[in-house]
Amino acid sequence: MGWPAKCDVFTERHRTWIAKRIAEKTQEGKLEIDRLWEPHTGSMWDENETRKMLTPPPRDPELEATLGDITTEVVDAIVNAANTSLLGGGGVDGAIHKAAGPELKEFCKSLGGRAVGDAKCTPGFDLQARWVIHTVGPQWQGGDQGEPDQLASCYRECLARADDVEAKSIAFPAISAGIYGYPIQLSAAIAVKTIQTTPTNVRLVRFIAFNKTTFDVYKKLLG
């Protein structure tokens, strides 16, 4: 079977065939919707429907760990481990606000804060990253006060906000693993597992470790 001749409906057989071709092309890294569209389809085809059908389902993002300072990351979005006020603080929050410049705080004033486990996107202002996604991690209280679910929620919500703004690459600090006291072994395991199990259009997720111990934990988890 080949590309169907001009027609105004996709038969089930055509859909199956096209899906198979897409899977092959995606694996080869050669999926080019415009080229697939052009010679084989015509004015009687609904272009939007075709494009929707030709868009492959999201693939798993690439995951990597880096040792360094998140404020210098060249990605679409960096994540800030903020507090519920979203108005800045110490740790990575302070570093991000300092590097982004005073406009970030001004912008954050209009947001009205955020609950633990939630996330909100702002521009990156003076940062290399176009976006900052602010999330509020839980404070470690021994692990039986809902902290694991709240931390997982932070990672999920950050990916959702990244998808909202069509960010394709994102860098995360070890949310809650500093001032909020979450043990790094536990927090990193939740970070990696949540990212691996959350559907997203983000293509690259980078875990930024601020020290060697944290870096080693991520490296081990990522294999």
Q: What is the x/- site pattern for ligand AR6, positions 97-136, by CB under 6 A?
A: ----------------------------------------
Give the residue among 220, 219, 126, 210 at the shortest CA–CA distance from 175.
210
Q: What is the x/- site pattern for ligand AR6, positions 172-191, by CB under 6 A?
A: -xxxxxxxx-----------
Taking the least distance from each CB to ligand AR6, the nearer of 61 and 173 is 173
Contact between 81 and ligand AR6 (CB under 6 A)? yes
Instruction: Choose the stretch contacting ligand AR6; rule: CB under 6 A; options: 8-16, 53-61, 83-91, 121-129.
Output: 83-91
Please state, in angstroms and as integers, the Cα–Cα distance from residue 5 to each residue in 2, 14, 25, 36, 41, following that order.
9, 10, 21, 14, 8
CA distance 58 to 95: 33
For residue 141, the one-letter residue type is Q
Find the binding residues for ligand AR6 in span 20-79 (CB under 6 A): 69-71
In which order are the strands placed within the sheet that holds 77-82? Answer: 62-67, 204-209, 169-172, 77-82, 131-136, 119-123
Exactly one of 83, 150, 153, 198 binds ligand AR6 (CB under 6 A); that residue is 83
For residue 116, the one-letter residue type is V
- Determine whether 93 is an active site residue: yes
Taking the least distance from each CB to ligand AR6, the nearer of 57 and 90 is 90
Do residues 182 and 147 make contact, with C-beta atoms less than 8 angstroms apart?
yes
Q: Outline where DSSP puts E strands in the chain.
A: 62-67, 77-82, 119-123, 131-136, 169-172, 204-209
Taking the least distance from each CB to ligand AR6, the nearer of 71 and 194 is 71
Gyration radius of the chain's alpha carbons: 21
Instruction: Choose the stretch contacting ligand AR6; rule: CB under 6 A; options: 4-12, 28-36, 170-178, 198-206.
Output: 170-178
Burial of 144: CB neighbours in 10 Å, binned 0-12, 13-18, 19+: exposed
Candidates 93, 149, 163, 216; catalytic one: 93
Residues that bind ligand AR6 (rule: CB under 6 A) add up to a total of 24
Q: Which residues bind ligand AR6 (CB under 6 A)?
A: 69-71, 81-83, 89-93, 95, 137, 173-180, 208, 210, 214
Active site residues: 93
